[in-house]
Structure 1
Amino acid sequence: MNNSNRTIISRRARPAKQPLSQDLIVQTALELLKSEGSPGLSMRKIAKALDTGPSSLYVYVANLQELSAFVLDNALAKVDFPEEDQGSWKSRLFDVLQSYLSVLYEAPGVAELSLTTIPAGPHSLAMMEYILRQLHEGGIRSTSAAWGVDLLLLYVSSVAFEQSSRDRKGTTLHAISASYRSLDPSQYPLISGLKEELLSSGGQEDKEGQQGYEGEARFRWGLEAILQGIVTRNNG
């Protein structure tokens, strides 16, 4: 059969693929992580998105662990650092940690990655240096600063992961709230007495029943509690 009207498209007319590079691999991995969560961070899926084979990726990254560290560091580029003359050292510390929370909360996969991966790169180092500088200004130094920064970052990561995962799954607090209200006060007097406070975030969203990341009041209360512990150990 003569199909003389068929249009022949030359392969040369196709747009050229962007040259493979570490930056391109990391950015592609980050986008997959944001859209699919942790399952998106696989060499096979990244290679498919880049129209190449998994073996090609290992020219630029040693393994998935190294790639994960690069991806997390790339995401941390969006963390905002308050100016050094802006407020007190504690307000700057809490503000940068609030920004870190927001970055992690926007992408549940990144929040999960922050709990399982040690970041390696300029953005994570810059954030750690900034936090240590605020602690140093507050008189917190040596071991207390080194262990304290780890504890603060772990707290933020856990809050972001819990809240973003809950939102992604469509989970609400109504079920556990109902469970608390059905408890026998004689058997669980303390839980029954604090049932409202256990689930409150200290913000307006409590009254409106809205979901979102941990309320700022409760989040900053946690930061304050951790910081006071660090200060106590530093002075002890």
Structure 2
Amino acid sequence: MTNKPTRTVVSRRARPAKEPLSKELIVETALGLVKSEGSSGLSMRKIAKALDTGPSSLYVYVTNQQELSAYVLDAGLAEVTFSSSDSGTWQSRLLDVLDSYLMVLFDAPGIAELALTTIPVGHNSLGITEYMLQQLNEAGVGATSAAWGIDLLTLYVSSVAFEQTSRNQVGTTLQAVKASYQSLDAKRYPLLMGLREEMTSADGKERFRWGLEVILQGILQRKNEV
């Protein structure tokens, strides 16, 4: 008589317990997916799969994908750093926080896209805006100019980050851009041909800072006009 193989029964109680579902866990999981997969990671189905649950379970904690996007953007912006109020000038503090903002978006392409398409209403987002308004207030910029100026500065930073990360994803290099200018018809595009070196000159950080300073000078020139 042969012995039947024994089966080991594993009690459900012996399995590792899943972390209870919560808004914080959903946002943390979604942020990780956005960082690794870009904006395509911000899918209720993907997030639910990563959490070993169903998409409908997520709606207990977030109203819709738009609300989740705002939470994820705000969580990503937690990494933006600020200089202390007694560090440097108001202008250097403002430019430094915008540099940090760019780096956070650049390191996570999906966050850069969210920054362009999502209304920033979380504590981290509002904290960044408050800090920048403090710097413009110190410079004597009026209320409307400061409010509109902050909008313009953050839009510029988000656009630069999204453009660069998108180019990296599709493999567009600076050499390819330069080559396209070299092949232009000089008769049709005389000014472009004459400035083809300048069009791609300097590194990205230098051009980025130049753009910020140009916008900032415009804000200062019209600081009390609107």
| Shorter-chain TM-score above 0.5 | yes
For 1:208, the equivalent position in structure 2 comes to none
1:81-230 to structure 2, matched below 5 A, reads 81-200=82-201, 202-203=202-203, 215-230=204-219
Q: Report the 3-state secondary structure (helix = DSSP H, G, I; strand = E; otherwise coil) of the residue aligned with 1:140.
A: coil
CA distance in 2, matches of 1:104, 1:2: 63
For 1:12, the equivalent position in structure 2 comes to 13
1:55-94 to structure 2, matched below 5 A, reads 55-94=56-95
| Cα contact 2:145–2:224 (8 A) shared by 1 | no
CA distance in 2, matches of 1:50, 1:217: 42
- Amino acid in the other structure paired with 1:199: T
* CA distances 1:69-97 after superposition (whole Å, capped 9, x unpaired): 00000011100001111111000000000
User: How far has the Cα of 1:2 moved from its partner?
Assistant: 6.3
Q: Report the 3-state secondary structure (helix = DSSP H, G, I; strand = E; otherwise coil) of the residue aligned with 1:7.
A: coil
CA distance in 1, matches of 2:73, 2:154: 13
CA distance in 2, matches of 1:2, 1:13: 27
User: How far has the Cα of 1:193 moved from its partner?
Assistant: 1.2
User: How far has the Cα of 1:119 moved from its partner?
Assistant: 1.8
Identity of aligned residues (%): 67
User: How far has the Cα of 1:54 moved from its partner?
Assistant: 1.1
For 1:34, the equivalent position in structure 2 comes to 35
- Amino acid in the other structure paired with 2:211: G
CA distance in 2, matches of 1:14, 1:191: 66
Q: Report the 3-state secondary structure (helix = DSSP H, G, I; strand = E; otherwise coil) of the residue aligned with 1:130.
A: helix
Change (3 A) 1:181 1:11: same
User: How far has the Cα of 1:177 moved from its partner?
Assistant: 1.4
User: How far has the Cα of 1:10 moved from its partner?
Assistant: 2.5
User: How far has the Cα of 1:216 moved from its partner?
Assistant: 1.7
| Cα contact 2:142–2:224 (8 A) shared by 1 | no
Q: Report the 3-state secondary structure (helix = DSSP H, G, I; strand = E; otherwise coil) of the residue aligned with 1:37.
A: helix
> TM (normalized to structure 2)?
0.95
CA distance in 2, matches of 1:41, 1:28: 10
User: How far has the Cα of 1:189 moved from its partner?
Assistant: 1.5
* CA distances 1:95-117 after superposition (whole Å, capped 9, x unpaired): 00000000000010000010000
Which structure would you say has the larger RCO, counting Cα contacts within 8 Å and 6 or more residues apart?
A: 2
Gaps of 5+ in 1: 204-214
User: How far has the Cα of 1:224 moved from its partner?
Assistant: 0.6
CA distance in 2, matches of 1:105, 1:73: 15
CA distance in 1, matches of 2:10, 2:106: 45
Aligned residues: CA RMSD = 1.4
Aligned length: 224
Gaps of 5+ in 2: none
CA distance in 2, matches of 1:169, 1:16: 41
